[in-house]
Amino acid sequence: MDTLTRMRTFVEVVDAGGFSAAARKLGRSKALISKYVKELEDELGTRLMNRTTRRLSLTELGQAYYRDAGEILQRVDDLQDMVRDRHGEPTGLLRIACPRTFGDGFVGRAVMDFVVANPSIKVDLRLDDRFVDLVDEGFDCAIRITELQDSSLIARKLADYRFVIAARRDVVASHGRPQHPDDLADLPCVIDSNLRSRFSWRFQVDGARTTVQVSGRVEVNSPMAVRLAVLAGLGYGSVPFIMVREDIEAGLIDVVLEEYETANPGVYVVYPHRRHLSAKVRAFVDFMADWFSRFDGQNCRGDTFDGPASRSA
């Protein structure tokens, strides 16, 4: 048994959170997985893991080995991808991170279309509304909807994405329609804790960007939950237009302060900076760019969103 196989098994056990989960993922017996890790520890002459019947934890050396082993295995995988890229189609496991709200919606549809179009690539799509560290957590790339800031990651913009300030019509009638962003400081607002500036909403006033401090009784960690709170009459919310378009058309809620909307975030695919971009990541980035280009940038702003499959060629 070679060292790389033992090393990869060890990393899979840590990533999966246990021997049983790693065995299921790798399609091997738990006993064999345990044997590989034990052989690795014997080869290194040290214990990497502390095992109990209920939990698994890494020793100090185990933590260091896990971190460096992940980087080594990534380099090996990249090298193999580079060779395969010279003479064949992209292949291998592609790990993608994406916010749950969008992964359950239109972004998830795009990813599944990619899977269908690339039968030699296995995809592990992880949906999580928290901020994911691609390098530390071993992801190949991520879909992010954000105002892109300075980063060590490489980003490719896929589309614009419009956010609006919305409230139920009776709330607007009761509290009054805000005429200026500053008016929101005295109005009940729904706070999305996923936003980095959750209490400071940004607007464009007289050609300059400004922020308004907002507050409210409800704080959630999902734009879909913001929509639900707005529909419940709990205040004004900053919410993706695409999520409330039908509510607006049905006359349930109003959009306010449209003339002050700031530069909206975009949909990006981001990936770590490497000397060689693996074929599977390149294939995914190019596919997503093409998939979103077929919407002419309008659909992510909420006009329509039928998907490429519904359009004629």
The set of residues, in sequence order, having a beta carbon less than 8 Å from that of 109 and lying 6+ positions away, is 307
Mean pLDDT score, 21-38: 89
Q: Does 211 share its domain with 237?
A: yes
Query: Does any domain span residue 64?
Result: yes
Residues near 61 by Cβ (< 8 Å), separated by ≥ 6? Answer: 46, 47, 48
**pLDDT band for position 25 (50/70/90)?**
confident
For residue 308, tell me if it sits in a domain. no
- The reply to whether 271 and 252 lie within a common domain is no
Question: Are residue 37 and residue 121 in the same domain, yes or no?
Answer: no
Judge if 196 and 107 occupy the same domain. Answer: no
| Strands in 162-311 per DSSP E | 163-168, 188-192, 200-205, 208-213, 215-220, 236-240, 253-256, 266-272
Output the pLDDT for position 305: 42
Residues of the domain holding 16 = 3-81
Query: Domain for residue 256, yes or no?
Result: yes
Residue recorded with tokens 């049905």: 250
Measured distance CA(243)–CA(310) in Å, rounded: 20
Least confident range from 100-104, 134-138, 166-170: namely 100-104
Is 149:218 a contact under the CB 8 Å cutoff? no
pLDDT band with cut points at 50, 70 and 90 for residue 303: very low
Q: Give the pLDDT confidence score for residue 313 in this predicted structure.
A: 26
Query: Average pLDDT of the chain?
Result: 85
pLDDT for 300 equals 59
User: Which residues make Cβ contacts (< 8 Å) with residue 165, sequence separation at least 6?
Assistant: 178, 184, 201, 236, 237, 238, 255, 256, 257
Q: For residue 307, is it within any domain?
A: no
The pLDDT tens digits of the residues spanning 199-229 come to 999 998 988 889 999 999 999 988 889 999 9
Mean pLDDT of the 287-310 span: 62
Q: Is the same domain home to 123 and 255? A: no
Percent of the chain at pLDDT exceeding 90: 48
pLDDT digits (tens, 9 = 90+) for 231-258: 999 999 999 898 899 999 999 999 999 9
Q: In percent, how much of the chain has pLDDT > 70?
A: 88
Q: Is residue 184 part of a domain?
A: yes
pTM: 0.62
Same domain, 168 and 256: yes
CATH number reported for the structural domain that contains residue 141 in this entry:
3.40.190.10
Number of domains in the chain: 3
**Among 55, 81, 107, which residue terminates a domain?**
81
- The reply to whether 38 and 154 lie within a common domain is no
pLDDT recorded at residue 275: 55
Tell whether 93 and 77 lie within a shared domain.
no
Give the tens place of pLDDT for each residue, 65-81: 998 998 888 778 777 76
pLDDT surpassing 60 at residue 230: yes
The CATH number assigned to the domain holding 45 equals: 1.10.10.10
**Is residue 311 situated within a structural domain?**
no
Statement to judge: residues 207 and 244 lie in one domain:
yes
Whole-number pLDDT of residue 274? 63
* 74 and 60 within one domain: yes
The answer to whether the beta carbons of residues 65 and 108 sit under 8 Å apart is no
What is the three-class DSSP state of 165?
strand
Would you say residue 111 lies in a domain?
yes
- Report if residue 190 sits inside a domain: yes
pLDDT at 138 over 50: yes
Least confident of 5-9, 195-199, 243-247: 195-199
pLDDT in the model for residue 306 = 46
Residue 100 pLDDT: 83
Highest mean pLDDT: which range of 113-122, 124-133, 187-196, 292-301? 113-122
